[in-house]
Amino acid sequence: MPYLFTSESVSEGHPDKISDQISDAIIDHFLAFDPDSKVACETLVTTGQVILAGEVKSNIYLDVQKIAREVINRIGYTKGEYMFDSSSCGVLSAIHEQSPDINQGVDREIPEEQGAGDQGMMFGYATSETENYMPLGLDLSHRLLKELSNLRREADQIRYLRPDSKAQVTIQYSDDNIPERIDSIVVSTQHDEFDHEEAMLAKIKEDIIGILIPRVKAQLPDHLRKLFTKDTVYHINPTGKFVIGGPHGDTGLTGRKIIVDTYGGKGAHGGGAFSGKDPSKVDRSAAYATRHIAKNMVAAGIADEVLVQVSYAIGVAKPMGLYVNTYGTSKVNMNDGEIAKKIESLFDMRPYAIEQRLKLRNPIYEETAAYGHMGRKNEVVKKTFNSPDNNPISLEVELFTWEKLDYVEKIQSEFGI
């Protein structure tokens, strides 16, 4: 019997995502000037206020207040009427030096023996149901909000939009886990004041269905466009008025959108957030590495759906174990345990090896902090960072290295396909 599965996303203007972006912008600045920096940075945002806290080991001093304001300005909180804007909000920093007790378990004289920054388990997931090997409901939710953000910035389009928004997509799947149709779509977007609430709701619904949805559909291949049907139900700002939003409407914290950041509820999650952590923290780096493995496995034809788990002990380089689940979709004559053994021989999952393989000691993290860390475009970009003494540096960095399909041939060779 067909079943329904739902995933959600939130925009860059959502309070929790503001916090994630500020934390990751601070990470990037530390790594830009000192690639060996160890950073754990948490951010809280509320009405007119940003609070930073965390631990740092670095040889560079940063103006974290300026970095926070630049992020808030880029997102679009630039008006006093939002009750949270880049020029007038307070920024309080309680960042201090990292504990030497933690650091001694990570740093080693031989880099390859670098220990894991914490214990825990991390998961990576991939599925063949979309071109970027992501679950369809989450992929569509991200696309809706990224396009809504584009519309907000286009002066000739939907001019009343404010930065905070959420989307949710429910997909109907067949018994064999194939997407059959889009059952429903929810979009809630912050907006300017309207004179009349009924006219407001009608206008927002008209614009979302008439402008946003066609622009998202145009990005999709034909077989996915067909999943939008006359029976798809749209809930647009279902609670009505949504003028008060952002940090004035709801306090934001780093790391509260870990399912949005990963697979929308598909696969599994080890519980550790990503943003605000340098790559010595395996919560982040190993989650990227397991996604890299899972995506390359599906692309190589090992299975249509793959979950990979890795686990660590703090201060220990070698993982506790590697687990693979193909959900019965394996196309090779091996059980999941045998598949895991072969994958373990192909990928060095020690923390230092992950950092080197995926180029994680570069300032690449602010881009991850909204619209998901997985399923994104791998590309090389130039980024500029300003130091407190006004000596800017420009760096070419490669974003989303864990999305590269650079191990497909190696996997196929290992499995004889």
- Which residue ranges make up the annotated binding site for L-methionine? 55, 98, 250, 281
Task: Pick out the residues of the known binding site.
Answer: 14, 16, 42, 55, 98, 164-166, 241-242, 250, 256-257, 273, 277, 281
Alpha carbons 166 and 401: distance in angstroms, whole number = 27
Q: In which order are the strands placed within the sheet that holds 179-191?
A: 3-10, 161-173, 179-191, 233-236
Q: In terms of DSSP H, where are the helices of 7-60? A: 15-33
CA distance 325 to 219: 31
Give the DSSP H/E element, type plus range, for residue 102.
helix 100-103
> How many C-beta atoms surround the C-beta of residue 241 within 10 A?
12
Angle between helices 64-75 and 15-33 (to 10 degrees): 130
Structure tokens at 240: 């009505």
Does residue 352 sit in helix, strand or coil?
helix
User: What distance in Å separates the CA atoms of residue 276 and residue 31, rounded to the nearest whole number?
Assistant: 12
Structure tokens at 280: 């010595």
> Alpha helices, DSSP H only, in 187-264?
197-207, 213-217, 222-225, 246-249, 258-261
Q: Output the known binding site for ATP.
A: 14, 164-166, 241-242, 250, 256-257, 273, 277
Contact criterion met (CB below 8 Å) for 199 and 150 = no
Binding residues for K(+): 42
Joined together, the tokens standing for residue 31 give 């790594």
Spatial distance between the Cα atoms of 282 and 233, rounded to a whole number of angstroms: 40
**Beta strands per DSSP E along 58-194:** 90-97, 120-127, 161-173, 179-191
Structure tokens at 392: 């800017």
* Helix ranges restricted to H, 154-229: 197-207, 213-217, 222-225
3-state helix, strand, coil in the chain (%, to 5): 35, 25, 40
C-alpha span between 336 and 324 (Å, rounded): 6
State the alpha helices, DSSP H only, in 262-322.
282-299
**Which residues are documented as binding site for Mg(2+)?**
16
